[in-house]
């Protein structure tokens, strides 16, 4: 909650310096060839192909762009600079001019084994350019762009390599041989891992394109890949084609059909009605009393923060175990319910922002998972330190991917703000990074309040959820039903900070819409406020409107998905 209600929701540079000096001396090469751009798909308007990105960390995004409607986003991690490259045919002893528009912290443009240049331009696109001359017998060149480790997502657009295409001894019309031995090496409810035998080619294979049915879904440089963003209990057929520097494409490999695992309980498997309960604020009620009165079974427990040194604690100050929060958890479980802890929120010292790496953050999350034997965790990603920091977004998503792999059956939720029409720029980036990193997030939960939504809280909530659905479909390739099954809504009881009023009647409408569209999760802030105080304003222990005790919780308990 913002202000009162959102109390809790919402040696490298030395290396860079020396690298800059080294690169600075490499950029001054003579001459410029006057010819058309010989790169394919230079503006990423048709996706990634024929570009190939390390770690599957590249994606074509619709914002921010320099020209056209698409650009490249490279979701760098602490161990991968998300280098995206394309190999083209060139002529020997010829000068070429390479240029491109980039945005981000420490973005590099260059040619393998030759010149490169870099810039830091985190808030706007700037142009990089560099020239190079091919060797006496050189017939191909690999152009690349990449970011720098743990420095956040970079963007690139309108990359141009001006000079003559490969001709004479440099032309090539021979396609690679088809890959053989395609097989699946593993699967989950939302991903399939594949491997195959390498193809051969007269000048060398530069990339392998993975197809799901007739649609290309991935391009890699090696002979293995993991296709993510799939639906549970669904059969998919895959093939692979090899591509060389001249753009010649092989015939398809043998096909392999794989049925993804079922989610827990079948289908997507995750349905959760879990209002927030906060032991550090707003006269926290006895959870067993609320459960008895309403039938609610799950609570989202707020908030796990950093108590220093990437160490988790309730509210950053109360002990992880043995305190009031564990007492509440014990009461909930004794009454037949369970909890999902929420990490982060609007304020306080957050683990995502303060842990030094994705590995350290995963270790902190694991401490909480182990302490309570958790079935699910929620990362409430808000404010400029987490939500509006793309490097921290990537750190959080990578950590969630790690703990999910280490804890079979664990469900992962991310919760973030929204506009009245769907995710904002940073919400879109969060979703795009989740896809690029293969984070396999179970639920993307929006908070449809404090967004200047005016009086129509039902209509604006539905519009925001439909906007999220559209983004999930376009990013992951899901159909409507699958996208809805990955959506959560976390609303507000009564008055918000911006005086938006979600009445019990409106919340019932939202609950009924959520059920009819079979979304995954329904929550609201907070059980602490689920008490009447008509005319009471925006306060911590009541809703500011006329209602009955625990009315919002009772409505939420009717969510079945």
Please list the active-site residues: 382
Q: Give the integer Cα–Cα distance in Å for 405 and 232.
A: 17
Distance of CA 102 to the CA centre of its chain: 21
- Nearest to residue 438, comparing CAs of 170, 220, 270? 220
Between the alpha carbon of residue 17 and those of residues 147, 213, 216, 331, the distances in Å are: 15, 47, 40, 56
- The whole-angstrom separation of Cα 552 and Cα 524 is 8
User: Cβ(354)–Cβ(344) under 8 Å?
Assistant: no
Q: Smallest Cα–Cα separation from 298: which of 275, 315, 319?
A: 275
Strand 443-447 to 411-417 pairing: parallel
341, 334 in Cβ contact below 8 A? no
The string over 479-488, giving b where at least 16 C-beta atoms fall within 10 Å of a residue's C-beta and e elsewhere, is: eeebbbbbbb
**DSSP sequence for 35-71:** --B--SSTT-TT-STT-EEGGG-EEEESSS-SSSS-E
List beta partners, residue 353: none
Task: Report the distance separating Cα 191 and Cα 180, nearest Å.
Answer: 21
> How do beta strands 338-345 and 376-381 pair?
parallel
- Please give the torsion angle defined by the CA atoms of residues 418, 423, 424 and 430, in that order, rounded to the nearest 10 degrees: 110
Helix (H) or strand (E) holding 353: helix 351-354
Q: Outline where DSSP puts E strands in 163-234.
A: 180-187, 192-197, 205-212, 215-220, 224-227
What does DSSP assign to residue 520?
S
Question: What's 376's DSSP letter?
Answer: E
Helix (H/G/I), strand (E/B), else coil: 235: strand
Handedness of CA 491, 495, 496, 501 (dihedral sign): positive
Structural element, H or E, at residue 435:
helix 425-437
What φ, ψ does residue 216 adopt, rounded to 5°? -75, 130
Sign of the Cα pseudo-torsion (109, 113, 114, 115, in order): positive
Q: What distance lies between CA 80 and its chain's CA centroid? A: 16
What Å distances lie between residue 300 and 45, 119, 215, CA to CA? 41, 43, 39
Of 81, 90, 78, 79, the residue nearest 53 (C-alpha): 81
Please answer whether residues 471 and 431 qualify as being in contact, where contact means their C-beta atoms are separated by less than 8 angstroms.
Answer: yes
């Amino acid at each position: 909650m913002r202000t009162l209600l959102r109390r809790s929701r919402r040696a490298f540079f030395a290396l860079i310096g020396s690298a800059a000096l080294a690169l600075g001396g490499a950029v001054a090469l003579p001459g410029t060839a006057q010819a058309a751009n010989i790169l394919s798909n230079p503006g990423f308007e048709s996706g990634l192909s024929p570009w190939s990105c390390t770690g599957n960390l590249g994606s074509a995004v619709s914002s921010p762009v320099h020209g056209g409607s698409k650009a490249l986003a490279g979701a760098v991690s602490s161990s991968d600079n998300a280098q995206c490259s394309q190999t083209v045919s060139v002529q020997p002893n010829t000068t070429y001019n390479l240029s491109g528009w980039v945005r981000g912290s420490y973005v590099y443009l260059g040619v393998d084994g030759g010149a490169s240049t870099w810039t830091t331009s985190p808030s706007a696109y700037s142009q990089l350019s560099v020239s190079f001359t091919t060797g006496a017998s050189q017939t191909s060149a690999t152009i690349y762009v990449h970011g720098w480790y743990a420095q956040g997502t970079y963007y690139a657009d309108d990359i141009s390599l001006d000079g003559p295409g490969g001709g004479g001894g440099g032309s090539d019309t021979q396609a690679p041989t088809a890959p053989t031995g395609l097989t699946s090496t593993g699967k989950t409810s939302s991903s399939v891992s594949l491997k195959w035998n390498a193809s051969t080619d007269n000048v060398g294979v530069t990339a392998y394109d993975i197809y799901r049915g007739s649609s290309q879904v991935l391009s890699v440089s090696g002979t293995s890949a993991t296709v993510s963003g799939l639906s549970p209990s669904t059969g998919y057929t895959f093939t692979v084609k090899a591509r060389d520097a001249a753009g010649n494409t092989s015939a398809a490999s043998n096909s392999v059909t794989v049925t993804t695992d079922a989610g827990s309980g079948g289908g997507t498997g995750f349905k959760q009605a879990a209002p927030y309960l906060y032991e550090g604020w707003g006269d926290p009620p006895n959870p067993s009393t609320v459960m008895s009165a309403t039938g609610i079974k799950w609570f989202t427990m707020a908030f796990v923060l950093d108590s220093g040194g990437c160490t988790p604690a309730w509210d950053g100050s109360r002990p992880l175990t043995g305190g009031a929060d564990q007492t509440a958890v014990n009461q909930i479980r004794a009454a037949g319910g369970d909890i999902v802890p929420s990490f982060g929120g609007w304020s306080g010292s957050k683990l995502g922002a303060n842990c030094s790496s994705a590995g350290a953050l995963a270790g902190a999350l694991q401490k909480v998972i182990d302490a309570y034997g958790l079935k699910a965790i929620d990362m409430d990603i808000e404010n400029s330190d987490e939500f509006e920091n793309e490097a921290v977004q990537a750190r959080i998503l990578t950590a969630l991917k790690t703990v999910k792999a280490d804890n079979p059956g664990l469900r992962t939720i991310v919760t973030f703000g929204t506009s009245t029409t769907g995710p904002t720029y940073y919400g879109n980036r969060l979703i795009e990074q989740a896809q690029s990193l293969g984070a396999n997030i179970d639920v993307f939960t929006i908070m449809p309040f404090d967004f200047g939504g005016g009086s129509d809280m039902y209509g604006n909530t539905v519009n925001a959820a439909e906007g999220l659905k559209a983004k999930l479909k376009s990013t992951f390739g899901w159909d409507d039903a699958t996208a809805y099954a990955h959506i959560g809504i976390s609303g507000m009881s009564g008055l918000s900070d911006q005086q938006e009023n979600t009445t019990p009647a409106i919340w019932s409408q939202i609950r009924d819409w959520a059920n009819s569209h079979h979304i995954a999760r329904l929550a609201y802030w907070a059980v602490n406020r689920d008490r009447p105080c008509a005319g009471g304003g925006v306060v911590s222990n009541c809703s500011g409107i006329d209602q009955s005790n625990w009315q919002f919780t009772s409505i939420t308990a009717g969510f079945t998905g």
